[in-house]
Amino acid sequence: MSNVRQLRFREALREAMIEEMDRDERVFLLGEEVGHYQGAYKVSEGMLDRFGARRVVDTPIAEGGFAGIGIGAAMMGLRPIIEFMTWNFSAVAFDQILNNASKVRQMSGGQFNCPIVFRGPNGSAKQVGSQHSTSMEHFYATIPGLKVIAPAFPVDAKGLLKAAIRDDNPVILLESETLYSVKGDVPDNLEPIEFGRAQIVRPGSALTIIAYSRMTHVALEAADQLATEGIDVEVIDLRTLRPLDEETIVRSVQKTHRCVVVHEGWSYGGVGAEIADRVQRLAFDWLEAPILRVAQLDVGMPYNATLEQACIPQPGRVCDTVKRLVFRET
């Protein structure tokens, strides 16, 4: 029987990389401060000593450059992991990801694969400023050729990262900086977790809350508060955004007849809008109320701590939104 341990989110990510680098000598890590500094958030702690500077490579502050190096290496048969210090900085490498990584397999008629993982912290943290607080998932989830994953728990972080490293396509892994220290049960010998499989992390019957990454924890906290008022909500953790598990979403909405989508990014053109569209198209006949979204306010993230928290979805705002639907105050 597999032993189960309590690991922090960052430790789970590190284990996934170490195990896959032990398993396959083509896997290597490339990014700013991943080596001698042990990683900006200590995700790669100890990996330089274990694998050496040829496989744990510190780079200059040049995201477009080292993203391009990684893509070229992937086309030549290696399996790079590219760490962005924050996904905000991936904007500098957007051309590489959009026009090279996501398209090379199609444009070469399948002559080149691009088995590369881009990973790093996404969204807000605590007072890191507007230029370090953008939730970038909606940019990347729109792009054919990319797979986009956003785990909420350590076990999923490890299992999904292992699957990403083994995938022959480019994968975007979005990690919340606020989750790096969160602990959770992770079994030994964990196998890769299949993409496109959401999970119901709290069963319920009154309404479906759909969330991912950090917002899954916000949704669960809101569900606990709502339960004290007799409102039993179901919480779905998507785990992956592209591919999206429509089946689990639709089955839940067919049961609860109401839906709220909680995501940290902006609402205009965001992931929540895409999910809401699919719910209304695929489960319209079962809906008894409008689909509502809870998202970041439509502003750049303030530095002030109080204003920052006011911008980000909080359990109280989720509870208020749920009650609007449950009590039909729309």
In terms of domains, do 254 and 307 share one? yes
What phi-psi label fits residue 5: left (phi over 0), alpha (psi between -120 and 50 degrees) or beta? Answer: beta
Q: What CATH number should be reported for the domain holding residue 129? A: 3.40.50.970
Would 101 be classed as within a structural domain?
Answer: yes
In terms of domains, do 245 and 283 share one? yes
144: cis peptide before it, omega within 30°? no
DSSP string, 183-216: EEEEETTPPPPPTT--EEEE--SSEEEEE-THHH
- pLDDT of residue 230 exceeding 70, the answer is yes
- pTM recorded for the entire structure: 0.95
What domain count does the chain have? 2
Catalytic residue among 15, 63, 234, 308: 63
pLDDT digits (tens, 9 = 90+) for 71-103: 999 999 999 999 999 999 999 999 999 999 999
Would 63 be classed as within a structural domain?
Answer: yes
Would 193 be classed as within a structural domain?
Answer: no
Is 63 assigned a catalytic role?
yes
In terms of domains, do 182 and 33 share one? yes
Q: pLDDT band at 330, cuts 50/70/90? A: very low
pLDDT digits (tens, 9 = 90+) for 175-197: 999 999 999 999 999 999 999 99
Catalytic residue among 15, 32, 132, 137: 132
Would 272 be classed as within a structural domain?
Answer: yes
* pLDDT (0 to 100) of residue 313: 95
Average pLDDT, the chain: 95
Q: What CATH number should be reported for the domain holding residue 242? A: 3.40.50.920
Domain span including residue 273: 199-326
Would 9 be classed as within a structural domain?
Answer: yes
268-271-272-274 Cα dihedral, nearest 10 degrees:
90
Spacing of C-alpha 166 from chain mean position: 18
Is 274 assigned a catalytic role?
no
